[in-house]
Amino acid sequence: MKTIRYELQDGIATITFDEAGSPVNTMCTQWQQDLVDVTARVIQDRDTIRGIVLASAKSTFFAGADLKGMMRLQPADAPRLYREIEQNKKCFRSLETLGKPVVTCLNGSALGGGWEVALMGHCRVAVDSPKIQFGLPEITLGLIPGASGITKMTRLLGLVGAQPYILDSKLFNPREAMELGLVHQLVPDAAALRPAALAFIAANPEAHHLWDDKSYRIPGGGPDHPTIAGLLAVAPAVLKQKTRGLYPAPEYALAAMVEGARVDFDTALRIESRYLARLAVGTVAKNMINTFFFNMNAIRSGQSRPASVQKYAPQKVGVLGAGMMGAGIAYVQASRGVATVLKDVTIARADAGKAYSAGLTQARVEKGRLSACDQTALLSRITPTEKLQDLAGCDLIIEAVYENRELKGRVTREAEPLLAAGGFFASNTSTLPITGLAEASARPEKYVGIHFFSPVDRMKLVEIIRGKQTDDETIARAFDYVQTIGKIPIVVNDARGFFTSRVFGTFVMEGAAMVGEGIPAAVVEQAGIQAGMPVGPLAVLDETALSLSVHVLDQTRADLRAVGGTYIATPGELLVERMVKEFDRNGRAAEAGFYDYPQQPGAKKILWLQLKTLFGTPGIGWDMQDLKDRLLYRQAVETARCLSENVLTTVHEANIGSIFGIGFPGWTGGAMQFIYGTGIDAFLARAETLATRFGPGFVLTAKVKDTIRRHQPSW
């Protein structure tokens, strides 16, 4: 056996998971065959076995399913996959029902299929470490825990108690597992696992799971219990509201929980297997596995970070501008232990920026998520000031002032000389090209874009922009800085709007163009929601400020005029310009944009009634699928263009950036995976149809088509 070692000594059968050539154990094809073989060995030796110990030779216990193998599945593979899942469970059940005590020794994390393997044990012993994680994150990958996880967790915790751990993929550490009754004993280190296992075996010569007892009842009651039945009556609707019908995994998981609770254990396992086999061969699961596992791991492992540069840990970081962005940057830095100097033109403004952190931390204290002592320590790391000299010795200074080229240039020239030796300077611009801004720097090779998203404390992505002269050391240090403060970094090359702002602009301006065509604003917003975007395009435009969009448009026109060019605005941009310049509708901050924002307590925003009068077309028809496709395809086309133009250099940054930066729907796996999940030929054909009907925004040149094909991932 290549993935499992079997040893029988003094009546103890030890099954050690040890996948050759892999840092972790997975349910690969070889492991599945080895599981059949080791189960046969145990059955053969049953008369001499007193107990069974499940252990791992890796630093973690078990990582879960073979996700690369799943990426190769096709719809026709569903019957075969179902048989394989059932074979694994048959082995699990053979070991569990042998009449011998089975103990799982959890030396490290066990996630997904790994936790399901762990649940074979009648007793689970774990090393007491907060760094170890257990749980079932399958839903986040478009799958369900189908290797007995749903059935067992439901029977261990009940239909209500198990929901956070199945439907919400909530993870837990060993101490939390002990409190839940999912782990039976904690030990100080891995060396203490086996003695604890042997002690359990000696004390429990015969063992079985709770659900194999005829008197067993599901905790809290089954589906027919009045309280549970009442909750289940509304659960599907609540779930549908959350998933919008775009994510089948949560719905399948809930169905497997409830249906499985109505039948015997072995039938419940088969129900689970059917749902998993159906999901695993589907497009959504493959999209989500590709991006949230493989692409995310590529980011975390630093594939875009220049490898030759030594690791950097920020010691003292200056932030210029204590407005919403600057205050948010100061907070995330301080929360990660980074000393921060927060400068503004007056001490009052700087103090107000620090007060933002005080408000966020106080809310966490009141919810019990942060101690008063930790709050004090966090706030002590932020030094508000109006004095430029207080920036002296910073190894990084980030300017987060208004999107104005002259202002950014002035603060750069003022602050840059105060950097510590070897320090670097960054601009938190969302649209202005970094190469142009770096002209104000005395060391353009040490100048980089670090683009945060608002609100900084909640948004996970940070876009690092390489200017034409930015060197590798600066990119690597920016990458390390972003990871230090707990954010997800992507690296892109310089261009107007970079990647995220450029693609985000196509989403909101396509929505604005629809309004200009006479399509009701409410329909436009609903198209965005039904496609899976977090909010509709008009609401997003209001939040980011219509006036800012017009400012960017004016700046773009001016920049192109300066080099002898002309910028041709899109229909959406022209409509937004009219909203601002003709009708004084500047966005939410001004309480007037595409929406009105009533000030009465409890009042909700409403679409501006004049939109229908100004832009509506009586009797106009529309096709909702066309509208949804326009919003998604327009972003995907622009992303492919960015890849073709070398603004983006990798597909994994395109996917992660589009989801975490601009809210591209998770079910698609990101803007590029949307193309590959749809099928390249099908996507190109649909884009051509949209281009014919709705304009050049959907046109794909031969170069872009070639780029799409060249970057297609292979499994």
pLDDT of residue 461: 97
Record: fold of 501-646+650-710: N-(1-d-carboxylethyl)-l-norvaline Dehydrogenase; domain 2 (1.10.1040)
With cut-offs at 50, 70 and 90, classify the pLDDT of residue 600. confident
What's the mean pLDDT in 211-238? Answer: 94
138 is catalytic: yes
Tens of pLDDT, residue by residue over 255-300, are: 999 999 999 999 999 999 999 999 999 999 999 999 999 999 999 9
With cut-offs at 50, 70 and 90, classify the pLDDT of residue 98. very high
User: Exactly one of 96, 116, 416, 510 is catalytic; which is it?
Assistant: 116
pLDDT of residue 401: 95
Going by CATH, does the domain composed of 316-495 fall within 3.90.1150.10?
A: no
pLDDT of residue 555: 85
Asked if the model's pLDDT at residue 431 lies above 90, the reply is no
Phi–psi pair at 596, nearest 5 degrees: -95, 145
Query: Mean of the per-residue pLDDT values for the chain?
Result: 96
582 is catalytic: no
Measure Cα distances from 165 to 156, 161, 172, 363, 367 in Å: 12, 8, 9, 26, 21
With cut-offs at 50, 70 and 90, classify the pLDDT of residue 521. very high
Q: Which CATH architecture has domain 4-281?
A: Alpha-Beta Complex (3.90)
pLDDT of residue 552: 87
pLDDT of residue 583: 96
pLDDT of residue 601: 85
User: Exactly one of 96, 138, 416, 510 is catalytic; which is it?
Assistant: 138
Is 639 in a helix, a strand, or coil?
helix
CA distance 342 to 336: 16
DSSP letter assigned to residue 30? H
Residues 6+ apart with CB under 8 A from 214: none
Q: Are 317 and 365 in contact (CB under 8 A)?
A: no
Q: How is the chain split among helix, strand and coil, in percent rounded to 5?
A: 55, 10, 35
Domain limits, the chain: 4-281, 316-495, 501-646+650-710
Residue with tokens 């012993």: 125
Its pTM stands at 0.93
